[in-house]
Amino acid sequence: MTRRTVRIAMNGVTGRMGYRQHLVRSILAIREQGGLDLGGGDVLWPEPILVGRREHALRELAQRHGLEEWSTDLDAVLADGRTDVYFDAQVTSARVDALTKAIDAGKHVYTEKPTAADLAGALGLARRAREAGIRHGVVQDKIFLPGLLKLKRLVDGGFFGEILSVRGEFGYWVFEGDWQDAQRPSWNYRAQDGGGIVVDMFPHWEYVLHELFGRVTGVSAHVTTHVPRRWDENGKPYTATADDAAYGIFELEGGAVAQINSSWAVRVHRDELVEFQVDGTHGSAVAGLRECRVQHRSMTPKPVWNPDLPADHSFRDQWQRVPDNAVFDNGFKAQWELFLRHVYLDEPYHWDLLAGARGVQLAELGLRSSAEGRRFEVPELSL
Ligand SMILES: NC(=O)c1ccc[n+]([C@@H]2O[C@H](COP(=O)([O-])OP(=O)(O)OC[C@H]3O[C@@H](n4cnc5c(N)ncnc54)[C@H](O)[C@@H]3O)[C@@H](O)[C@H]2O)c1
């Protein structure tokens, strides 16, 4: 057995996503399983270098997990010829600068979404990466969730017949931060710091819709800030300058339409924090993060509208649970493994900076649609 080490500079690991999903649930989980099996007796061993702004926080993290390397000097880490991959889970507003430096240093890059604050920045990164000849990937975790993998299985198996529509409902109540702490970082609610639910969630909806049902060809959205005043991590009040809810309509290649509500100002009366209902001529499905339920046309009840009588159907009971039929790994880890196989085995990988730019494009057009009260075509991107 040959063990090859891949040294990954991980920037933003003190944050929510960087720590939990990327460091602990992905990179450390790959180490716990003995590394990534590349076949032919080769095993890839990820060696994280924790990068950030606060030395004490990085040292504490490294000690907690028995890691040896951390640094507050990104330039030095990138100048080090032993660093193979740069990973970015910083706040969105810090991303373009750091990724640009990493690409210019010839590192392979893997990054959280959105890749940039605007389309020009996102395309600029994709072009730079292509010219530098490095490998690049963007987190598109939702399609690796068990619920959406089961939904994809239904699409691929022809369960739906012709797909007519998709209804997505995402969101939960994010506390204002005064009488109960907010459960998301305050920068999410300040436009000047890269916040907003459209830039956060439309990139996800772009690849979910694209990969499952077809490319988004048109968008109209109504975007708003329902909760205008919030309290930050220090209990200080601030004005929420970013949007916290978006009501979007997405036209899809092939003719289906998707309507997705995204909100941090909604209370959950659903089974999961995100759910997609897909209706097709032959059947329908409701998929969440983990579960997926179906109703075939042959099992579709015939309710008759009559408000004078109580409902005589238990509608939820008329759906069947789709079996797992597989063991599902953490979605972030699954995508990390595919990215590392792309880098080291040259396996195909299409969740790259151009794919990331499509997400940024949809967010940009969604915001413009709302601001101008117009529907926008979504042009196909190329480099
Ligand atoms: N894939 C997903 O499902 C998903 C979910 C949430 C967030 N995200 C993305 O991940 C990124 C990080 O989000 P998060 O929720 O982990 O944020 P967070 O605030 O918890 O973490 C941000 C990290 O960036 C660092 N940072 C660097 N420069 C900073 C600055 N100038 N100000 C503040 N922090 C700075 C922080 O120290 C911290 O490590 C964002 O780009 C966000 O869009 C992705």
pLDDT tens profile 274-299: 999 999 999 999 999 999 999 999 99
Pocket test for ligand 1, best of 11, 25, 90 (most atoms within 8 A of CB): 90
Output the CA–CA distances (angstroms, integers) from residue 280 to 118, 164, 165, in the order listed: 35, 5, 7
DSSP 309-375: S-----GGGG-EEPP--SPPPPHHHHHHHHHHHHHHH------SHHHHHHHHHHHHHHHHHHHHT--
The answer to whether 122 and 357 have CB atoms below 8 angstroms apart is yes
- CATH T-level assignment (fold) for domain 142-326: Dihydrodipicolinate Reductase; domain 2 (3.30.360)
Which letter does DSSP use for residue 157 in this model? T
Domain limits of the chain? 2-138+331-352, 142-326
In this predicted model, what pLDDT tens digit does every residue of 240-284 receive, in sequence order? Answer: 999 999 999 999 999 999 999 999 999 999 999 999 999 999 999
Which letter does DSSP use for residue 112 in this model? P
Q: Could you give the CA distance from residue 126 to residue 110 in angstroms, rounded to a whole number?
A: 12
Long-range pairs of 153-157 with CB within 8 A, sequence gap ≥ 24: 153/322, 154/278, 154/283, 154/285, 154/292, 154/294, 154/322, 155/212, 155/213
Ligand 1 — pocket residues by CB below 6 A? 12, 14-18, 52-53, 89-92, 94, 112-113, 139, 141, 185, 200
**3-state class (DSSP) for residue 298:** helix
User: Rounded to 5 degrees, what are φ and ψ at 124?
Assistant: -60, -45
Could you tell me the distance, in angstroms and rounded to a whole number, from the CA of residue 16 to the centre of ligand 1?
7
Q: Which of 383, 25, 361 is nearest to 218 (CA)?
A: 361
pLDDT beyond 90 at 132: yes
Could you tell me the distance, in angstroms and rounded to a whole number, from the CA of residue 93 to the centre of ligand 1?
9
Q: Could you give the CA distance from residue 79 to residue 217 in angstroms, rounded to a whole number?
A: 41
Could you tell me the distance, in angstroms and rounded to a whole number, from the CA of residue 314 to the centre of ligand 1?
42
Instruction: Judge: domain 2-138+331-352, CATH 3.50.50.60.
Output: no
Would the CATH topology of 2-138+331-352 be identical to that of 142-326?
no
Q: Could you give the CA distance from residue 77 to residue 98 in angstroms, rounded to a whole number?
A: 12
In this predicted model, what pLDDT tens digit does every residue of 84-124 receive, in sequence order? Answer: 999 999 999 999 999 999 999 999 999 999 999 999 999 99
In this predicted model, what pLDDT tens digit does every residue of 325-342 receive, in sequence order? Answer: 999 999 999 999 999 999
Percent of residues, the chain, with pLDDT higher than 90: 98
CA atoms within 13 A on the CB side of 186: 17
pLDDT at residue 345 in the model = 97
Could you tell me the distance, in angstroms and rounded to a whole number, from the CA of residue 12 to the centre of ligand 1?
7
Could you tell me the distance, in angstroms and rounded to a whole number, from the CA of residue 99 to the centre of ligand 1?
14
CB-CB neighbours of 372 under 10 Å: 9
